[in-house]
Amino acid sequence: MKKILLASMIAAAFGASTSAFAGNTQTMAVSATITGTCKLQSSTAMAFGSIDPSSLTAATATADVTYKCTNGTAPTSLTAVGANDSGVQHRMLTGAATFLNYSILFTQPTTAGNGFGTGSTATTVTVSGTVAVADFSNAIAATYTDTLTFTIAP
């Protein structure tokens, strides 16, 4: 009986000592915000090739620009500015400071993205370029170049 009483007292003391060291709890809020963004991924060159100045048909070329957006986010604008632009007129330039006007046309993208990670896909926007007959019929024989800088916004 003494052994049972002793065992009971030890168990009671052990139980009392663990509750004396009981911990305290606290909650913490955790949050994150994924930003809706779009990023240009790549572009192909727009090459009009050799233009015959006696041609009666405008010179045309196409190129592609690709983008990705945050899952569910669609772009709100896509713009292009040329290095040699004069106002809204796009111009290619020769080394002799002679310009060749051209225009570009593309449909504003509206396709929402599906993210940037594995399995996500880029959306392609086709850019059409035109050099009008009036712009090349009296142009000097030279190589003309420009650089378009595209900007996309979510």
What predicted TM-score, i.e. pTM, was given to this entire model? 0.81
Which residue is it, tokens 């035109």? 130
Nearest to 51 by CA among 148, 147, 135, 128: 135
In a domain, 1, yes or no: no
Residue 58 lies in a domain: yes
Given a cut of 80, whether residue 18 has pLDDT beyond it is no
| Residue 124 covered by a domain | yes
Domain CATH number, residue 47: 2.60.40
Residue numbers of the domain that contains 140:
38-153
Residue 96 has pLDDT above 90, yes or no: no
Q: Domain tally for the chain?
A: 1
136 half-sphere exposure, CB direction, 13 A CA radius: 24
